[in-house]
A and B are shown apart, each in its own frame.
Chain A
Amino acid sequence: MRVSPSDILSRRQQIAAVALAAVVVGAFVAPQVYGQTSQTDSKVAVVEITGAIDSSSSQYVEDELREARHNDSVEAVVLDIDSPGGSPGSSERMLTAVERTAAEMPVIASVDTLGASGGYYAMLPADEIYVTPSAQVGSVGVIGPAPMPSGPNAGTTAPDKGSFHPDDARATTETIQEVFLENVMEYRGDELEKDREEVAHARMYVGVESVENGFADEVGMTDDAIYEAADRAGLSSVEVVSGLTVDEDEQPEPIPFIEADGETVAVASEEADLSPHQPLAVTPEFWHERFGDLDFEDDDPEVPTNTTDADTGGEKP
Chain B
Amino acid sequence: MSLARVYWRGLWSGRLVLGYTLLLSLTLFILAPFLMITLRSVGKGWFGRLWFPPQLTLDWYRWAIEVGNIPEVMKNTLIIGVIAVAVSTVIGIFAGWAFGRRQMPGKELLMAVVLLPRMIPPITYALGVAKIFYTLELVDTYLGVALAHVSVCAPYAILVLSATFEGLDERVLEAAGVCGANTIKRFVYVVLPLIMPGILASMIFSFTHSYNEFTLTLLTYGPHTVTLPVRTYLAVGDGYWEITSAMAVIMVLPSLLILAMIQRRAKPERLVGGLKGV
Q: Do A and B bind each other?
A: no
By a beta-carbon cutoff of 8 Å, the part of chain A in contact with chain B is: none
B: which residues have CB within 8 A of A? none
